[in-house]
Amino acid sequence: MDGANPHPRVERLSRGFSWVTLGVDDVIVRVAPSGGSLDPYDPEVEAANLRRMEGVVPAPRVLAVQSEANNPIGRPFGVHTRVAGQVLRLNEVTEGQPEYIAAAAQALGELHNLTAPTTVAEAYDAELDSTEAVYQRAAPDRHPEFEAALVWLRAHRPDCDEPAVWCHGDFRFANLSWTGPGKLGGILDWERAWPGDPMCDVAFTRRFSGWCSIDDSADYGHRLDQERLAYAARFERVRSFTASMRAIRAWLDGRSDDARLLTIGRRGEEAMKTELDWAAD
């Protein structure tokens, strides 16, 4: 067409340690790196989670998925719609913080209305098995403190037969898009979603979401079990260390030359020695 731009507008939207996220005109393209902190990368996993969330909470919609690397990009990728609004930094919000907290809590509560076909206890057992498998595969060296933490978590796992719910797994302010003060446009980054204990998402916000953490309020709409919440905080801390293990493994294996992966891997190994001291209790 006359005057039409034949070239798409491409912008890099994230420079984190995980997916390569690109804005291509009106869509989002999430490209799997050759190695990173969430190995192995499978765009079908995030696509399945996003499809499950349709009509539940505001989130991107799946437009296409390419699971194989034999394509023009050369890596697996997913194509999603853009969500409304923009992602803000915690320090960019100087007014209306209660409104943001209320909207985040309400969205998380709506997500936690979506039950899964397993119990909380069974979900923990499955995720602890998965976490141990990642450790066995990715850790460059043995970490006695991590192994002790896994033993502690198995020994103290809540004996809860309540239905598990779908958890986001990475629910924090940096993964929320806003159209205005306290007006949620969408929840991003669903690759870590899992059927589990809703207290895990709440605990995650308290560690990684700064002033936008979820407290016991009517906006969340669910009772907070303080004993399970304390366990979930330790569970999430242990699980988070697998990201640093996978990062350093990707760098050591030569699947990525991003030196930041080596840095976060080493920092994670150092942190384990001080942040898992409770495992000796």
pLDDT above 90 for 5: no
Which pLDDT score is estimated for 217?
75
Which pLDDT score is estimated for 118?
97
Residue 11: how many CB atoms within 10 A of its CB?
9
Mean pLDDT of 8-24: 83
Would you place residue 155 in the very low, low, confident or very high pLDDT band (cuts 50, 70, 90)? Answer: very high
Which pLDDT score is estimated for 3?
54
Which pLDDT score is estimated for 17?
67
Which residue do the tokens 């602890």 mark?
128
Which pLDDT score is estimated for 1?
43
29, 108, 129, 265 from 151: Cα distances, Å: 39, 30, 11, 22
Secondary structure of 77-105 in the HEC alphabet? EEEEECCCCEECCHHHCCCCHHHHHHHHH
Q: Which of 57-66, 111-120, 201-210, 268-277 has the lowest mean pLDDT?
A: 268-277
Task: Return mean pLDDT, the chain.
Answer: 93
What percentage of the chain carries pLDDT values higher than 70? Answer: 97
pLDDT above 80 for 4: no
Most confident of 167-181, 214-228, 264-278: 167-181
| pTM (2 d.p.) | 0.93
Rounded CA-CA distance 240/248 in Å is 14
Structural domains in the chain plus CATH codes:
10-81 (3.30.200.20), 86-280 (3.90.1200.10)
Comparing 61 with 34, the larger pLDDT belongs to 61
Three-state SS for 66? Answer: strand
pLDDT tens-digit map of 163-210: 999 999 999 999 999 999 999 999 999 999 999 999 999 999 999 999
Q: Burial letters for 121-142: b for 16+ Cβ neighbours within 10 Å, e otherwise?
A: bbbbeebbeebbebbeebbeee
Which pLDDT score is estimated for 160?
97
